[in-house]
Amino acid sequence: MKWLDKIPLPTLVVIAILLGLAPFTPEPHLWEKLKMLFAGELQKPIDIFDLLMHGTPAVLVILKLLRLQKK
């Protein structure tokens, strides 16, 4: 996971916010896909791809913060 250490945290946070909130209207994709996931409606491959694409940066921020906390 040394590649994650090379990415600056502020850059990663900005990417996570922008992708997490895109598109800004009518509803961010990440929020929409999470609601579908918890409702059991996340079945289409494009919806799963959207969840992964919009959620991955947020997961990377969490992993980076955990790695920084351990140091």
pTM for the model: 0.83
The rounded distance, in Å, linking the Cα atoms of 19 and 33 is 13
Which residues 6+ apart lie within 8 Å of 56 measured at CB?
19
The rounded distance, in Å, linking the Cα atoms of 52 and 33 is 9
- pLDDT at residue 45, as a whole number: 94
- pLDDT at residue 24, as a whole number: 79
- pLDDT at residue 35, as a whole number: 92
The rounded distance, in Å, linking the Cα atoms of 39 and 13 is 28
- pLDDT (tens digit, 9 = 90+) per residue, 8-57? 999 999 999 998 888 878 888 888 889 999 999 999 999 899 899 999 99
- pLDDT at residue 21, as a whole number: 87
The rounded distance, in Å, linking the Cα atoms of 16 and 62 is 10
Domain residue spans in the chain?
10-70
